Structure 1
Amino acid sequence: MAADGNGATGSGAAAAEPQVFMALPGRTEAREEAFEACLAEVVRSLGLDVGPGPGGDARRTWRNRARTALRTACLRGTALSEESFDALLRAAVHDPDPSFNRQFVEPALNAFGYARVRKALLGYLRTGTDHERAGAARAWYWSALPLRMPHVRAADPGSVDRAGTDGARAVVAEWNEAALREFVGNEQLEVRRCILPGLPLRKSAYPPELHALVDTAVALARSHPDAYIRHRVEHQVGD
């Protein structure tokens, strides 16, 4: 995954000189523990054969085993419950590694549909903690993946959100507006760093009443004390 945590790379003129982005905020022990609790819920709700999470030096091994067990279950086929949906989205939001949170988003997409997953992430962006808002922005990147897990389904077919193209576009428009407002109004660095790579900065992506806020977001990013944000905005505005 690219260093901006969202897999974005330069195109066009950027081909002559690759874009290099500063790393997003790193892991902390507290976040590792919070993620392990979420991962344990995934293991329990899906009935994965991993065993209880260990402590000490064996923790990384257990996390890797849990990720492998989830991947294997998705390849073999599994039916996801409502509890599993919630557990997968929590794990995606709290995963400290933005390269691996896809493992939790993808099965949820295949079982419950784009609209349901995106609405859940939008909820985290609007009402979560700052850490959850940043995590939701990282997870949002994967919410447009093609559906390539035919053996992953919802245990209750009635829980699938089958919103059509118009419904999916409406959720994206809601996300873009909420992310724009959060980027401008929330001064927490991690939140701004994680929202910016997926934030459209074209006025055509918003209704006229938000055009001034787009200008504010661009100006804020260009004058921000954080070098990553200053560098990233020029890449996005220049695209």
Structure 2
Amino acid sequence: MTADGNESAAGGTAPKAQVFMALPGRAQDRRDAFEACLAEVVRSLGLDVASESEPGAPRAWQHRARTALRGACLRGMTLSEESFDVLLKAAVHDPDPSFNRQFVEPALNAFGYARVRVALLAYLRTGTDPERVGAARAWYWTALPLRMPQVEAEGPGATGVAETDDGSAVVAEWDEATLRAFVTNENVDVRRCILQGLPLRKSAYSPEMHDLVDRAVAIARSHPDDYIRHRVEHQVGD
């Protein structure tokens, strides 16, 4: 269980923490796909990571690779065009919704908010269901401040790109796309992860989208999944 925000109790009593049910793990394990993505990160960025030495122990190798990426970001590095796609693919396929930040953050700092958000929007619109799940989880980190000036994109004209384009124009497209996906896609993992960041206020959308907001709320409230039913009540109230 996690606490998220406060709400004032009636009669001037102390604020009450808003408690959310923990997001369940994915119904489908994608660790093999992620390991292949991580290997591409190691290759593309030229990270110094020893090959897996113990058969059947991929987690130890993944930890070394993540540690090497973190160290390279702290020391400073220049990312190639290829590295952008490699990092975003790893972020989307990462089974851990906390550690996927390690791939999103350097991409944000080197290539900018707009480019990262547009790429995740493409995964949401055209990817497989596991990729849509990963895109929704990775999107959460696209609001991070840019704190890695030592991570840059190679090529002429790259300097300053991340700072000058905040990608805010893509947010409305993302909200509309996630609303449509929640209503039309019956995959439980997709709906769980989309719902976390889905605005369910009609004021967040154009008038022609208001019926979809009502449908999304109705779907969530009657859904057989406990998490979805629990989450929607916290987002729209009783």
Is the TM value for this pair above 0.5? yes
Matches within 5 A, 1:1-239: 9-13=4-8, 15-26=15-26, 31-53=30-52, 56-158=55-157, 160=161, 164=165, 168-238=167-237
1:166-216 CA-partner distances (Å, limit 9, x unpaired): xx2320011000000000000010000010001111111111110111111
- In 2, the alpha carbon distance for the partners of 1:13 and 1:222 equals 24
Residues 107 and 16 (structure 1 numbering): CA distance in 2 closer, same or farther, change over 3 Å? same
**How far 1:158 sits from its partner (Å)?**
4.1
Larger Rg computed on CA atoms: 2
- In 2, the alpha carbon distance for the partners of 1:102 and 1:232 equals 23
Q: Normalized per residue, which structure has more helix?
A: 1
**How far 1:82 sits from its partner (Å)?**
1.0
**How far 1:13 sits from its partner (Å)?**
3.8
Would the aligned equivalents of 2:112 and 2:165 in 1 still touch at CA under 8 Å? Answer: no
Would the aligned equivalents of 1:134 and 1:191 in 2 still touch at CA under 8 Å? Answer: yes
Letter in 2 for 1:10: G
- In 2, the alpha carbon distance for the partners of 1:82 and 1:109 equals 13
Would the aligned equivalents of 1:222 and 1:234 in 2 still touch at CA under 8 Å? Answer: yes
Partner in structure 1 of residue 12 of structure 2: none
- TM-align CA RMSD: 2.1
Q: TM-score, normalised by structure 2?
A: 0.90
**How far 1:43 sits from its partner (Å)?**
0.5
**How far 1:99 sits from its partner (Å)?**
1.1
**How far 1:26 sits from its partner (Å)?**
3.8
Q: TM-score, normalised by structure 1?
A: 0.89
- In 2, the alpha carbon distance for the partners of 1:174 and 1:163 equals 20
Identical pairs, percent: 70
- In 1, the alpha carbon distance for the partners of 2:212 and 2:122 equals 21
Letter in 1 for 2:89: R
- In 2, the alpha carbon distance for the partners of 1:149 and 1:204 equals 35
Letter in 1 for 2:222: S
- In 2, the alpha carbon distance for the partners of 1:26 and 1:182 equals 17
Would the aligned equivalents of 1:183 and 1:217 in 2 still touch at CA under 8 Å? Answer: yes
Equivalent position SS for 2:78:
strand
Letter in 1 for 2:210: H
- In 2, the alpha carbon distance for the partners of 1:142 and 1:174 equals 17
Equivalent position SS for 2:23:
coil
**How far 1:18 sits from its partner (Å)?**
4.8
Letter in 2 for 1:138: R
Unaligned runs of 5+ in 2: 10-14
Unaligned runs of 5+ in 1: none
